Structure 1
């Protein structure tokens, strides 16, 4: 049974990576500014390939849950992280570029660090409780953070921008996971628990997370975006569980040191992926139609100057 669960978990990790890679193709090509607004999601929802990618990612989540039903969390969670290597290879395949050894090394570092964090945090079987006021404060905080980062991200270069956007996206999705865990766990005992204010809060956080996730893909740094989301989502979810849901943190000094080391390892690998020269070529070609921060505004420039500035901006990224 465990062997089958491992294979199912691997299939789930591949589906998640494939679905995300397909989403990135349309996120990069979509019209609009470098950091797009909510209507960007509406545009993507009309693209068949993006919808197929979303279905693939959903299938990956479903397969992961099936795998968890037949094997311990300590086995399945680290296997799910292998999706990052799948994502790196698929991105290179779709963009017709070669996979660099540095990318694989950085991806492996992220996987090792995240696996360590997942294994070191305790997993509680108790039904979590969260008050409406606390849930509102949590949702309001992530929405306020999203608004601030959205405004600032327009002026940040694509390399740092992908980390900024993906971090907020991962934080929003981690918040979604925490709120969904409370709703689902309580609904298992009483189905009317679905009809509380926590449910629309969960949906609001999910939409924000999806917007930032797709904008992170939009930068063309797919591997860095996927790695950041893969790290931040469970870490934020575990943090909320520990601080607000009573699920606890690593207790022994050794486990605490190991958790910090694992987090630093995952963070270092993610930064390396963000700095790597593996940006989607289509993102570079799309610069001319977007508000890249160092591009000269075309209002007062001559056509020749605009063309020159656009070319320089594209090549610098």
Structure 2
């Protein structure tokens, strides 16, 4: 059990390290404040961003190894410790001082998310997801994500980070739900991997990645990362309850605690999205973009 806890913490660190490395190239990539799909093609050609992706993948792998040796109720909460790692690493890479308020807000998000992960029961039943339901889920994510992506062009940086991270987290949570169904099917029939659900999962994951990297691009990395940590499992749990037949907290007391935990996580995320927590490099890029688009008449 002890080694599984250590592996889970190492996985949380790797995931935070990978995301913090990705932030720098997401900010520096050319394009407007909300970048298009070609933005991802630019990123995959950047060595640092690729290294960050490998670190994040290693973090996911270590998390799965830890889950193989310890209960979900122990390992899942340990995964959210990556938020504090991410806050410190992002500040270190951009040569900023870590604010005490950021750490307290991060601790609030962690506490809320740990509460949610602990209070929701974890079902071992095999999930069933018809293709029609999967298409409805992915179609809803595509419509909501596209609408949010378009609106984000007119939203200030802090709220934009949260908006894009919410939509990206929803897409990645949907990917997790689809992947869970595929993994359960593949356990008895390996050919299940080569099906429509896998294609849908990949498409939604790419779309979620575009939204996620655009959230990092705002310079409000801590808020974006915290939001992703909250929304991804929340959406996955919601799909599990509403579509896959999984359970919710049974007693009114547990339901009230879950609601309180969610509010605590939301409050912490709101603090992290405040302007003074923004990466100065993103602020400079934003100012440069504004100057480029300023007309001669405006400059006088």
Unaligned runs of 5+ in 1: 306-317
The equivalences for 1:13-162 within 5 A come to 13-162=12-161
Give the deviation of 1:101 after TM superposition.
Answer: 1.0
Superposition map of 1:1-317 within 5 A: 2-275=1-274, 277-290=276-289, 297-298=293-294, 300-302=295-297, 304-305=299-300
Residue 262 of structure 1: how far off its partner (Å): 0.5
Task: Tell me by how many angstroms 1:302 deviates.
Answer: 3.9
Instruction: Tell me the CA shift for residue 96 of structure 1.
Output: 1.1
Matches of 1:296 and 1:9, distance apart in 2: 46
Partner deviation per Cα, 1:152-190 (whole Å, 9 max, x = no partner): 000000011001000000000000000010011111111
Q: Distance in 1 between matches of 2:100 and 2:288?
A: 33
Q: What's the CA shift for 1:280? A: 1.0
SS at the partner of 1:259?
helix
| TM-score, normalised with respect to structure 2 | 0.97
- Post-superposition Cα deviations, 1:64-113, rounded to whole Å, max 9, x if no partner, equal 01111111111111111100000011111111111111111100000000
In structure 1, what is the Cα distance between the partners aligned to 2:150 and 2:15? 29
Separation in 2 of the partners of 1:257 and 1:193? 39
Conserved? CA contact 1:113–1:266, under 8 Å: yes
How far did 1:254 drift? 0.8
3-state DSSP class of the match of 2:154? coil
CA distance in 2, matches of 1:25, 1:43: 13
Distance of 2:262 and 2:80 partners within structure 1: 14
Please give the per-residue CA displacement for 1:264-289, whole angstroms capped at 9, x wherever unaligned. Answer: 00000001100151211110111145
Paired positions, count: 300
Question: Distance in 2 between the 1:110 and 1:288 partners?
Answer: 30
CA contact (8 A) 1:26 1:49 kept: yes
Determine the C-alpha separation between the residues in 2 that align with 1:163 and 1:303: 31
Cα distance in 2 for residues equivalent to 1:288 and 1:262: 37
Shift of residue 191, structure 1, vs aligned partner: 1.3
Alpha-carbon contact 1:9-1:80 (below 8 Å) kept: yes
Distance in 1, Cα, partners of 2:296 & 2:181 = 55
What TM-score, normalized to structure 1? Answer: 0.92
Q: Are 1:32 and 1:289, in contact at CA under 8 Å, matched by a contact in 2?
A: no
C-alpha RMSD of matched pairs (Å): 1.4
CA–CA distance in 1 between the matches of 2:39 and 2:233?
26
- 1:303 CA displacement: 7.8
**Whole-Å separation in 2 of the counterparts to 1:289 and 1:146:** 27
- TM superposition outliers: structure 1 runs of 4+ over 4 Å: none
Report which stretch shifted further, 257-266 or 272-281: 272-281
Change (3 A) 1:276 1:67: farther
Instruction: State the alpha-carbon separation in 2 of the partners of residues 303 and 74 from structure 1.
Output: 58
- 5+ residue gaps, structure 2, are none
